[in-house]
Every structure is written in C-alpha cells, then in structure tokens.
Amino acid sequence: MNDNAIPVYVLTGFLGSGKTTLLNRVLEDAKARGLKPAILLNEVGDVNVEGQLIEKEIPMAEILGGCICCTSRGDLGLELVQLAQENKPDVIWIESTGIAQPLDIIDGVTEASLYAKLELKGVITLVDSRHLLDRMSIGSGKTYKLMKEQIRAANVLVLNKTDLVRPSDLAELQEALEDWNPNARKLLAAYGDIDTADLYSAEEETILFSRNHDHTHPEHNHSHHAHDHSRLHDHVNAVTYFFKNPIDSVAFEQFLKELPDDVYRAKGIVNFRDTASLFLFQYAYRESDFLRITPQKSVNQVAVFIGEGFSREELIEKLNRLDA
Ligand SMILES: Nc1nc2c(ncn2[C@@H]2O[C@H](COP(=O)(O)OP(=O)(O)OP(=O)(O)O)[C@@H](O)[C@H]2O)c(=O)[nH]1
C-alpha cells in the first residue's frame, strides 16, 4: 500500500516477558539480512539498562522515566519522526514498557505517520507462560487485565518461556490465547527462539486499532485517556538506584532472593567486588540470572525495581547496606 514507508513494529508484553531477548534476535536477524534497523526503547525507570549495551551502530532513541502510553505519549510521536528522518532506517522497532497500554502506543505510531512516512506493520505481544498461568488461576486483578489487553491488541502472539510450564498447561494457555485473540498468528518460544520471518509475514490487518481515535475531539480524548491511566498505573512504582561502590555478589544474590513478591521486575548493571567484573542482572517473576558483560562504552552501575505497592524506603535501605 505504501511502498517506501518505513515499517514500524511494536513489541509489547508484561514486565519481564522476554521483549528485549526477542529484540536482540530481531536485531541480529536484521543485520544478517543487510537491513538497517533503528530502535525506540521505553523504560519505566530513569535509566535504560539494556540500552547501554546495544551496539553503537544501531540508531536508538529512548523515552525514560515513564510509560510511552501515558506521560510521554507526545514524545513517542516526536522521537519516532526524528529517528526516521535523521537515520533513514529500513525498519523501526519499538520496545514498550511492560506496563504500557498497547492501544495507546498504536495511536501514537499512527499519529506519527501523519508527519513522517511510517507505517505500523506489526504489534507483537510477548506472553510469559508461567506468569499468565498464575494470573489465570487467580482470575482477576489489574495485571491480568493489562495482560489480556496486550494479548488482544497483537497481530502476532509469542507464547514465551514455554520451558517453564508443563505441556498440559501449555495447551490451556494456547486455548486462552485463541479465545482472546483468534486472529493473531501464534508462536511458541523459549528465549524468543522463533523464526523471525513469522513476525514479518503475519497479516497486519488484524492489529486492533484504536477504540476512540477521533482527531476532531482532542480534549475529549485526552480526558478519557488520563482517566484510563490513573486507574491503570497508579499502583505501579519504580525505584532507580545508582551504586557508588562495587558490591558483594553473595549478599546481592541473597537480596534478590528476598525481594518482596510485589516487586515484579528488577534489572541492572552491578560491579561485584569479589569477581572484579561487571554483570547485567535480571530478575523477572522470581527468576534471576547474571551475565558477565564487557560494555563497549562506559556504563552506570545501577539497578531498577518495578512493582506494585512495595516500600521504597525499605528497598533503598537494603540497597544502601549493600552499597556501604
Ligand atoms: N526461563 C526463561 N527465561 C527467559 C525466557 N525469555 C527470557 N527469559 C529471561 O527473562 C528475563 C527477562 O527477559 P527480558 O527479555 O529482559 O524481558 P523484557 O520483557 O524485555 O523485560 P522488561 O523490559 O523489563 O519488561 C531475562 O532474565 C531473560 O533471560 C524464556 O523463554 N525462558
């Protein structure tokens, strides 16, 4: 339809569902195909942990300290237009925060296409198999509702972390996805190990477009939008902590194990004094892992914690003790 428009793909999925893992695959694949990708990353915290590790050659824009879909929605359009005009990429990938409302991001992208030759080609939602299974068994709550909305908005659903559930649970999950979004292409994955061609060849017509996109009534839209979000995001909080000192690895692992249940997600870059090297750490839905890194540029030693209703003070106090 729009031959020389830059295709835009949106990656959504709840906190820690595997978006960055998949994005890294997609970027490698784009490189192998000789394509020039650009990326737009959005983080709830004030720093972009993984963004610091992305290859220098890949043009990247960041929206930090909020969620694309609410506080910085205007920024999304601006950043996209700028990214497209300055870098002339072959494809743009947007990774949204895990708490983003997909329909609002879709609105943002389609709005940006009014000002630059961009075309939304795909909304790919990552689903954490084990997390969704647990939420299904509880059967209510804001997180569950948001997960469903993210699932409904997709034209490709990647049921990820299948290594963490039994085959019978997998069947139950597949049935639920079929029920909530019958039109989307469905892929099963562990660590995002899909054939990336499946992302590009899915029919974008199935993307669920905005429910209330009326340019002639901006005030009305705005208030509706703000109202939606005060309900959705009030409960989410994020703590960003910059370490001043190298820290003890054993004490840090213990600290992660003892994180309260209402911290859903943590990640960061830490310098362990006992190994004298830098590590990228990840914590998502009670699982943690560590990857030794040697960044190409200087990076901050920092940790971000995202969850609902946990005590900031207690967390910071524990971090101060680790950092002493
Ligand atoms: N067991 C298992 N772990 C996975 C899988 N995919 C990703 N992970 C791990 O889950 C953690 C979170 O993965 P990310 O790719 O960073 O998740 P994300 O959706 O980008 O996280 P946010 O940006 O914070 O929302 C990391 O430790 C990954 O290594 C999977 O299929 N199975």
Question: Are 203 and 315 in a shared domain?
Answer: no
Q: How many domains does the chain have?
A: 2
Question: Are 168 and 264 in a shared domain?
Answer: no
Question: Are 44 and 179 in a shared domain?
Answer: yes
Distance 192 CA to ligand 1 centre (A): 9
Question: Are 201 and 254 in a shared domain?
Answer: no
Answer yes or no: is the C-beta of 289 below 6 A from any ligand 1 atom: yes
Answer yes or no: is the C-beta of 21 below 6 A from any ligand 1 atom: yes
Answer yes or no: is the C-beta of 265 below 6 A from any ligand 1 atom: yes
Q: Which residues contact 306 (CB under 8 A, 6 or more apart)?
A: 15, 44, 45, 98, 99, 236, 237, 238, 263, 264, 265, 266
pLDDT number for residue 3 = 55
pLDDT band at 223 (very low <50, low <70, confident <90, very high): very low
Position 224 in a domain: yes
Distance 289 CA to ligand 1 centre (A): 10
Distance 223 CA to ligand 1 centre (A): 34
Q: Check pLDDT > 80 for residue 192.
A: yes
Domain-terminating residue out of 185, 202, 230: 230
Position 117 in a domain: yes
Tokens encoding 273: 């004094």
Distance 95 CA to ligand 1 centre (A): 13
pTM of this prediction?
0.79
Question: Are 248 and 99 in a shared domain?
Answer: no
Question: Are 204 and 291 in a shared domain?
Answer: no
- Coil vs helix vs strand at 107: helix
Distance 18 CA to ligand 1 centre (A): 4
- CATH number of the domain to which 203 belongs: 3.40.50.300
Edge-to-edge strand ranges of the sheet holding 37-42: 60-63, 37-42, 91-95, 6-13, 118-128, 156-160, 185-188
pLDDT band at 205 (very low <50, low <70, confident <90, very high): low
Cα angle 161, 76, 280 (rounded to 5 degrees) comes to 40
Give strand pairing partners of 239. Answer: 305
Question: Are 207 and 245 in a shared domain?
Answer: no
Question: Are 245 and 210 in a shared domain?
Answer: no
Closest atom, ligand 1, to C-alpha of 282: 27
Domain of 182, in residue numbers: 6-230
Domain-terminating residue out of 180, 207, 230: 230
pLDDT in tens, 31-75: 999 999 999 988 766 666 666 667 778 888 887 766 555 555 567
In angstroms, the CA 106 to CA 89 distance is: 20
- CATH number of the domain to which 311 belongs: 3.30.1220.10
Distance 283 CA to ligand 1 centre (A): 8
Tell me the ipTM for this assembly. Answer: 0.98
Answer yes or no: is the C-beta of 284 below 6 A from any ligand 1 atom: yes
Site to probe by mutation for ligand 1, drawn from 24, 191, 194, 240 as the one with most ligand atoms within 8 Å of Cβ, is: 191
Mean pLDDT, residues 203-229: 44
Give strand pairing partners of 308. Answer: 236
Question: Are 191 and 241 in a shared domain?
Answer: no
Answer yes or no: is the C-beta of 190 below 6 A from any ligand 1 atom: yes
Site to probe by mutation for ligand 1, drawn from 21, 124, 127 as the one with most ligand atoms within 8 Å of Cβ, is: 21
pLDDT band at 189 (very low <50, low <70, confident <90, very high): very high
Position 1 in a domain: no
Question: Are 119 and 208 in a shared domain?
Answer: yes
Tokens encoding 120: 């939304």
Position 130 in a domain: yes
Question: Are 93 and 186 in a shared domain?
Answer: yes
Alpha carbon dihedral 149, 153, 157, 160, in 10-degree steps, equals -30
Question: Are 66 and 171 in a shared domain?
Answer: yes
Nearest C-alpha to atom 5 of ligand 1 is from which residue?
A: 191
Domain-terminating residue out of 230, 259, 280: 230
